[in-house]
Chain A
């Protein structure tokens, strides 16, 4: 017990034996942290090669679906049914965005979201689309949609009865990107015509073709998402460094220690800015 106490004392409190600087902030220790951070970076990159689905994110269809319905229930609206047909439309839309390299509801050659929905044989009375890219977590996606009036209105439209999602990785504008496509719809009852398309005024003719046979999408989710694990590990690592700096600064002030070392105050400021930046980077963009 005494040994542990001495070790912690040596690690965090500046005194004669550690040359009046917390051992955890010595150059050799900082080098060890650097090597650990570098190895973490390499290991994560190598580990991702074999991970097929959303390696850069912790976004899942199940979670998006659950959060979407939670938001609707909070607003006294009916829950949406997860449609494999709309999910296929979303998947095709995302693939098309990567193929034609665009980030928009409309493709450069004029394809609209409704083309993808009708293209999989989904005849709708109402339809809508929300897009997101480069988010790290599912709740970040839904929160961003809820904070944008247009997306919120779409998500909370009472007319919708079904929803479909696709999470697809690819290269967009030369960058590794994770796209999230959310397609809403209300299937048309036989005999009715397409009436209403949100966010677009023109109506589309009903495509008179037999609906394609849809094979349900199998969603493969790793039990532990490496990104979530690494994100938390990063936060622990950063907080450890902050604490070490804070302790060192506090005791150096208390004992009036003058030594050759960097400024703890600016190290702390730098790390705090990086920590805030970490949370900003977890948020992607929506349209």
Chain B
């Protein structure tokens, strides 16, 4: 049942190993920085915004490399990034 899912996931990670490693490393940094600056809300929010912008840049870079960049894709990354920023802002900076 999940054979094709596993196959596609494996193919995706294998073909873009560097991109995914880069993103996971940035994500780990994001969590480490959040933990270091725990309780310092302004810095926590800056870390969140930086990670969200990194995610948008990653998306643009990844799709340029793969020659699949389209305005619709950029908008998708921007929308998801800002949804998450707004949701977390309520918690970090109420």
| Beta-carbon contacts under 8 Å, B48-94 to A | 48, 51, 55, 58-59, 62-63, 68, 70, 72-73, 75-77, 79-84, 86-94
Instruction: Give the most central of B12, B87, B88, B90: most A CB within 10 Å.
Output: B87
Query: Are A48 and B70 touching (Cβ within 8 A)?
Result: no
Chain B's nearest CB lies how many Å from the CB of A101?
A: 14
Q: B68's closest neighbor in chain A, by CB? A: A260
Query: Are A277 and B90 touching (Cβ within 8 A)?
Result: no
Query: Are B77 and A262 touching (Cβ within 8 A)?
Result: yes
- Name the interface size band of chain B: 35 or more
> B9 in the interface, Cβ–Cβ < 8 Å?
yes
Q: Count of chain A residues with Cβ under 8 Å from any Cβ of B?
A: 56
User: By DSSP majority rule, is chain B's interface helix, strand, loop, or mixed?
Assistant: helix
Q: A227's closest neighbor in chain B, by CB? A: B94
> A40 in the interface, Cβ–Cβ < 8 Å?
yes
A254 vs B48: C-alpha distance in the bound complex, in angstroms? 34
Query: Are B87 and A234 touching (Cβ within 8 A)?
Result: yes
Chain B's nearest CB lies how many Å from the CB of A133?
A: 6
Q: B54's closest neighbor in chain A, by CB? A: A270
Which of A237, A254, A283 is within 8 Å of B5, CB to CB?
A: A254
Query: Are B12 and A234 touching (Cβ within 8 A)?
Result: no
- Between A and B, 13 residue pairs with Cβ closer than 8 Å are A27-B75, A133-B39, A175-B42, A234-B87, A238-B87, A253-B9, A262-B63, A269-B23, A269-B24, A270-B27, A278-B87, A278-B88, A284-B38
Q: Spell out A's residues near B (CB within 8 Å).
A: 25, 27, 30-31, 33-34, 37-38, 40-41, 44-45, 48, 55-56, 133-136, 174-177, 227, 230-231, 234, 237-238, 241, 249-250, 253-254, 256, 260-263, 265-267, 269-271, 273-274, 276-278, 280-285
